[in-house]
Amino acid sequence: MRKEIILDVIEPGLGELESIWDYIGYPDEQRTERLHTLAEQLQARMFDFISAENQRRVQLDTEIEARKRRAAQICQTLRLPPYFPPRGLPSLSLLEHLDAHIAQFEAEIKERQARQSELTAQVRSLCERLGLPDETATTKPAEATTTDGDGVDSTTDADDAIPSEQDLERLQSRVAELERRRDDMLKRLSGLAEDVRRIALDIEFAGSPAGSGADDAAQALEDAVLAGEETTRLPLSDATLSQLEALRLRLVKHKAMLVGTCDELRQHIRVMWTRLDIPHEEQEAFLAQHAGYRQSTLDALQEESDKCQELKWSQATAYLANLRREASELRATCFLDDTGDEADEDAALIGGDLDDTEEGVAALERRIDELRESYEKNRELYAAVGLYQDTWRAYLDVEQRMKDPAILSNRGGVLLKTDKERKQLQKELPKVEKKVSELLQKLQGGDNFRIRGRTFEQHVRHLWDSLRSEQEASKFNRKAGAVAGGRTGSATSGGGDDLRSSQSPMRDSSLGAAGSPRKDY
């Protein structure tokens, strides 16, 4: 302690007292007595000052302990390690040091509470956007801090609401989860809305009519989507997605109905046009004008179908003749036998005295529908058999050309080329036969398939047997010197089963390549 400061104050006063006492004339005894009185008074003042300073020291110790408790409480609340101030610091320095760290801790608290409030607001907003219950309703808000008698913030109640880092991480994760869910739902909602608008445009769907049974929310959503409202303004919830999915499914079913009905009507109209001999140019023009599957297209097709029905009765005689020709071609295309009860019934319908009454025409139309259904059901079978039959006819043609004297006399390129073609077809026939047989085994109904009453294997054997029989007969006739006048011979002749004759479906004019009919049934 610096005594000089005290002495510098007392010594000038003592000198002045000596002067006063000299003037008064106090003796030494009185002067000594006066000095003792002054000393006692100075000592009393010193004791009072020391007492006050001692009280300040106690107060500082109390404040330091309060700061330490506050620092420990904040560290515990913030889930931080305990804080220990440096040792050996004076009380004022220690108090200042503690206040600085407490200020840092309280700034951390405010930052965490601000982050919590921000994240909580985001969760609340996302829950409201997604139509979910408010997850923040039970969150306890932080209470305002108060100051106790020691000048220390008392936040005991508020400390319970101070979030930890883990709490903030959970909130941040929940926000990210809700945002992903929002983005996914927005993506689904956008896709559904786009699908609904596209399908509605395709089928000219203007919206459900009043009184269709849809609730107000579903009707409002349908109107908004069809009006092209932005997706971000549509309600975003599982209920909204379910309503849009149901609307899309309803439109898809309606479009499927339109597609099926329009296709059926187009097919029916094509058949009717063919029977009514409508020019091809008019057909193509009408179909080009009424393409697609809209409701207006369906109405136009239905109107054309009704028009064809009217024309059918106004041209009944010609219509019936075309029906008979169509039935005959279908019977040939389907390789039906010319004997049996079914053949007799068909003969009565096709070649009998059937008049052009509504009942007669309807009966023939039903039979044509049955034949066409049978053909469509076994289309692959007919194509496979036709492939073999085309190959067989090509082989017979080469065999016939090889007998031509003009080719035999020409020992040049024509003979060699024809012979090479015959050998190639001889190799191809077994391959095609095997291919057709395998296909018949795989296809449903292949075992029951008949060609004029024979199975495919029986039909193949019949062709080869007929060819061998003809070759043997021709050889015998040449040896005997007997030449059959005007007869060229046929590899498939005998017993009315000549499949190369004009009555044979294999040679019928209605067949195109691979044995398929020229008309699309």
The distance from CA 296 to its chain's CA centroid, rounded to whole angstroms, is: 29
Backbone angles phi, psi at 511, to 5 degrees: -95, 140
The pLDDT of residue 481 is: 66
| Residues 429/392, Cβ–Cβ less than 8 Å | yes
Q: Provide the 8-state DSSP code for 107.
A: H
Q: Which range, 69-83, 149-163, 308-322, 479-493, has the best average confidence (pLDDT)?
A: 308-322
Confidence of residue 404 (pLDDT cuts 50, 70, 90): confident
Residue 366 scores a pLDDT above 60: yes
The pLDDT of residue 479 is: 78
Could you count the other beta carbons within 10 Å of the beta carbon of residue 243? 22
Could you count the other beta carbons within 10 Å of the beta carbon of residue 177? 12
Residue 493 scores a pLDDT above 50: no
The residue count of the chain comes to 521
Q: In the structure, how many helices (H) and strands (E) does the chain have?
A: 16, 2
The pLDDT of residue 212 is: 58
Q: Please tell me the number of Cα atoms within 13 Å of 448 on its side-chain side.
A: 5
Confidence of residue 412 (pLDDT cuts 50, 70, 90): low
CA distances from 388 to 76, 206, 324, 342, 393 (A): 93, 54, 29, 27, 9
Q: Give the closest residue to 185 by CA, choosing from 104, 122, 131.
A: 131
- Residue in the block written with tokens 């059959």: 484
Task: Out of 110-114, 156-160, 323-327, pick the least confident.
Answer: 156-160
The CA distance from 72 to 83, in Å, is 6
Contact partners, residue 506, CB within 8 Å, separation at least 6 = 386, 389, 393, 499, 500, 515
Contact partners, residue 66, CB within 8 Å, separation at least 6 = 148, 150, 151, 152
Confidence of residue 252 (pLDDT cuts 50, 70, 90): very high
The CA distance from 138 to 376, in Å, is 69
Buried-state track 109-146, b at ≥16 Cβ within 10 A, e below 16: beebbebbeebbebbeebbebbeeeeebeeeeebeebe
How much is the pTM?
Answer: 0.53
The CA distance from 497 to 511, in Å, is 18
Burial class (CB in 10 A: 0-12, 13-18, 19+), 286: middle
3-state secondary structure of 153: strand
For 495-511, the pLDDT digits (tens) are 334 333 333 333 333 33
Q: At what angle do helices 379-402 and 413-442 cross, to 10 degrees?
A: 160
| Residues 416/364, Cβ–Cβ less than 8 Å | no
Q: Which range, 4-13, 243-252, 360-369, 397-406, has the best average confidence (pLDDT)?
A: 243-252
Q: Provide the 8-state DSSP code for 473.
A: H
Q: Token pair for residue 304?
A: 């054309």
Q: Is the CA virtual torsion 140, 146, 151, 156 positive or negative?
A: negative
Q: Provide the 8-state DSSP code for 140.
A: P
Give 154's strand partners.
146
Give 451's strand partners.
454
Q: Token pair for residue 127?
A: 């829950």
| Residues 295/254, Cβ–Cβ less than 8 Å | no
Q: Which residue has the higher pLDDT, 158 or 341?
A: 341
The CA distance from 67 to 99, in Å, is 7
Q: Which range, 160-174, 224-238, 486-500, has the best average confidence (pLDDT)?
A: 160-174
Q: What is the CA radius of gyration of the chain?
A: 56
